[in-house]
Amino acid sequence: MKTTEKNQILYHLIRDYMYTMGTSRTTIVALKSYIDAIQRLNCTEQELKGLVLELNEVLKKTEPKIVSLAHLIEVFEEEMKQHWDSGMEAFKSRATAYLEQQLKRFEADTKSVTAQCAERIEPGDFIITSSPTEYLSKAFILAHTALKKQFKVLVLKQDYLRTRDMVNTLENHGIEYVLIPQYNLSHFLGKANKLFIGAVSISTDQKAVTGFGTANVVSICHTHNVPVYLFIETLKFSHTPLQDQHIYMEKKDIIESDTIFHMTSFSNDFVDLNLINHLVTEKGERMRP
């Protein structure tokens, strides 16, 4: 099998993880797997640098680009420049220690984003959630159980797995919710008062790469003056514009009844930050340029 084909299989697997768990959790799982791969390396010292850098390049070009993971790999490469020739075991030891340190920092950032989100939930809120991430789910739990806030969630049915997980979370913790198809959002615009979303990344040209379907929801809420809150870790801010975020485009034939549709689809949406009312990171609300 060609290298490009192997990469595409990996990228497809990573997209599945992102659809199911969100980008933050995927970053954590991928970094843990990367640490395990470093520890299991079985090669000569002459092959070491080439193999590690080859893997790094593959992971920095996922479709879509996982900016948080790419940043972690970039700083890892910089840190390890002086350790490539230190010997196999010394390299593995230093690499593992450094990566585990970076993993803990990112997990702490994600936990802080959860706390920031919970702080912005007020008693009586009716919050729309679109392509919910793990830290949004945890924020609802935190606000309801620890902070004792009474609120309601409007769940838009999009991806099956994320919708299932969100509904299970809300039901298990006794949080009131309404579940609707995304296309019925207009019926609740006079009742819901906030929209909470996450993002894969934010590009230098002020675009947030989001889950599919999110752009339409944001546009509708913006038009009807429903404040949009975007929660994201600082590590997801990209150094490059939208065109370099590697959003995956797929063309395939879909057969329905006796008709063949030549369908083009994209793995992710993107949203202009001008449509976002509140951009919140682990450090609090951030002013947009």
**Number of other CB atoms surrounding residue 57 within 10 Å:** 11
pLDDT above 80 (res 289)? no
* Long-range contacts (CB closer than 8 Å, 24 or more residues apart) made by 94-100: 95/35, 95/38, 96/35, 96/38, 96/39, 99/31, 99/34, 99/35, 99/38, 99/72, 100/35
Q: Tokens representing 6?
A: 């192997």
pLDDT tens figures, 120-135: 999 999 999 987 778 8
Residue count of the chain: 289
- Tens-digit pLDDT profile for residues 84-121: 989 999 999 999 999 999 999 999 999 999 999 999 99
Cβ proximity of 118 and 197 under 8 Å: no
Residue 206 has what pLDDT? Answer: 96
> Does residue 215 have a pLDDT over 60?
yes
- 246 phi and psi angles, rounded to 5 deg: 55, 40
User: Could you tell me the pTM of the whole model?
Assistant: 0.93
Average pLDDT, the chain: 93
The domains of the chain, with CATH numbers, are 3-111 (no CATH), 116-285 (3.40.50.10470)
Q: Is the pLDDT confidence value at 229 over 60?
A: yes
**Beta strands 207-211 and 228-231: pairing type?**
unpaired
Q: How far is CA 119 from CA 114, 141, 175, 271, in A?
A: 9, 12, 16, 24
DSSP states along 26-75 = HHHHHHHHHHHHHHT--S-HHHHHHHHHHHHHHHTT-SS--HHHHHHHHH
Q: How far apart are the first and last CA of the chain?
A: 46
Please give the structure tokens belonging to residue 182. 């995304």
- The token duo for 95 is 């690499």
pLDDT at 161: 81
pLDDT tens-digit map of 161-204:
888 989 999 999 999 999 999 999 999 999 999 999 999 999 99
Sign of CA dihedral 153, 155, 160, 162: negative
* Residue 270, number of CB atoms within 10 A of its CB: 21
Q: Which residues contact 243 (CB under 8 A, 6 or more apart)?
A: none
3 confidence band (pLDDT: 50, 70, 90): low
3-state secondary structure of 271: strand
pLDDT at 23 over 80: yes
